[in-house]
C-alpha cells in the first residue's frame, strides 16, 4: 500500500463516514498526515456535524500557508480547512 501524507478534498464529502474514510488515508500506520478541505457555505452544516460527531475542531487554514509548521499541523490533528 502506498503512503499518503496529504489528502485534498475539493468537495467536502456529504457524510461523516466518507469524510473519515478519505482523511484516514493521510495518517495510516501511526504516521502524521494533512487533510485540506475546500468548504463552500453550503458545506458548513456537514462540517459542523463532522466536528461534533468526532469531538474535534477543524480550523480554517491561515492565509500564510508558509507559516505552518509540522508542530502546528499536529496540534490540529492533521485537519485543516481552506475557505473557498
Distances (CA, A) of 19 to 53, 66, 69, 71, 73: 12, 26, 24, 24, 18
**What average pLDDT does the chain have?**
73
The CATH number of 6-83 is 3.40.50.300
Rounded mean pLDDT, 2-10: 78
pLDDT of the residue at 76: 39
Q: Kindly report the number of other CB atoms within 10 A of residue 70's CB atom.
A: 9
Please tell me the pTM assigned to this model: 0.63
Where does the pLDDT of residue 37 fall: very low under 50, low under 70, confident under 90, or very high at 90 and above? confident
Q: What pLDDT does residue 52 have?
A: 92
Amino acid at each position: 500500500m502506498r503512503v499518503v501524507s496529504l489528502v485534498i478534498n475539493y468537495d467536502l464529502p456529504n457524510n461523516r463516514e466518507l469524510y473519515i474514510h478519505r482523511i484516514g488515508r493521510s495518517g495510516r500506520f501511526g504516521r502524521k498526515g494533512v487533510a485540506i478541505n475546500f468548504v463552500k457555505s453550503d458545506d458548513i452544516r456537514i462540517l459542523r456535524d463532522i466536528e461534533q460527531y468526532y469531538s474535534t475542531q477543524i480550523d480554517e487554514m491561515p492565509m500564510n500557508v508558509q507559516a505552518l509548521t509540522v508542530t502546528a499541523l499536529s496540534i490540529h490533528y492533521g485537519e485543516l480547512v481552506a475557505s473557498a
